[in-house]
Amino acid sequence: MKVNYIAVMPCLEQWMTGGTAYCQKLFDVLGADSIFYIRKMETFGLKVKCMFQIAVYVRKQAKKEYLNVLLVDSASLFLMVPTYVYCVIFGVKVVPIHHHMPQRAALSTLVFKFLLLFSKRILVSSQFAFDQIEKPQMSHVLINPTLKYTGVMDAKPKILEQKPKFNLLYIGSVIERKNLMYMLSIVKRLPPQFHLTVCGPTDYDEPYSQKCCDYAAENKLSEQVDFLGKVSEHKLESLYKEADLFVFLSSYEGFGMVNIEAMSFGLPIILSDIPPHRDIVQDGTYGFLFGLDCPNEISAKILALSQDKSDYFQRSSLALERAKTYVWNNSAIQKKVFQFVTK
């Protein structure tokens, strides 16, 4: 049986990380050449128009004498109602790819759960993501995210060098659930040689982004914090290489792909103590888990890591070994998904 994969996912222009990068990588491995990229839409009218554009696209890409399978990033599922109708009528299998539930979007969540009634199977990035949908009997397959960067197998542990700055790195959208404000309060407690680079789009929640910038200015952190916004893939790779420690204190994630990417560059990591992060990190090894109400403890741990070269090297080595477990075997992934969608 031949399978024709058709895909639908958000288009985030140059910022391809997290769930979006996961879906794009999976589509590449599966050979899904037909991909509909959804751009940001400000009005309800544009969203309705997009709904029918997706349905028309899927109809055009469907092939005779193939099993047509529509793979949908769950972040786009609320736009799929007309497409689902078409797929039910014409026998196109729909497989949502789920990495986390919509946040602050009750209607999107409602539509997501309604459409799952018509999907007999779902592909998930973590056990936590599957548990969220509250359908324990639903057929599913778990495929953990893989690394974007390919040099992990040859990478060497980082050596803590004497230099003017100890570089902390944050990568992610500047939105409230990512808790950048909390991170800034930790930097405030550190000596001036500690420097935080904030990399990620600031236009998803502009009031919160401005609040973070104002906090940094009011607390005289301008010399310790850089807000870079979106950057190119080449620049992002450079930031990983220049960093000494990765810090990610989100209150909610579906998986946390940036964490394993950071480890693939030999970075020890400090994460918030939430279920997806517990799947990635064994606390006290190559990374540390902290609650969201202990800035003094986190700042003390950062300070300690910066002062012990031997301990830092050991944790960097462990981070690399852990990252290697997330390298995909492409042929195995292809076979796993093929068997899942054809059964």
Q: Report pLDDT digits (tens) over 188-217.
A: 999 999 999 999 988 888 999 999 999 999
Which tokens belong to 25? 């990588």
User: Could you tell me where in the chain the CATH 3.40.50.2000 domains are found?
Assistant: 3-146+328-342, 152-324
Residue 19's pLDDT is 78
Please say whether the dihedral angle defined by the alpha carbons of residues 128, 78, 141 and 153, taken in this order, is positive or negative.
negative
Residue 299's pLDDT is 97
Residue 75's pLDDT is 79
Residue 24's pLDDT is 87
The domain 152-324 having CATH identifier 3.40.50.2000: the answer here is yes
**pTM of the complete model beyond 0.95:** no
Parts of the chain with a pLDDT under 70: 12-17, 101-105, 150
Residue 175's pLDDT is 92
Residue 12's pLDDT is 63
Pick the CATH number of 3-146+328-342 from 3.40.50.300, 3.40.50.2000, 1.10.3720.10, 3.40.50.150: 3.40.50.2000
Q: 276 φ, ψ to 5°?
A: -60, -35
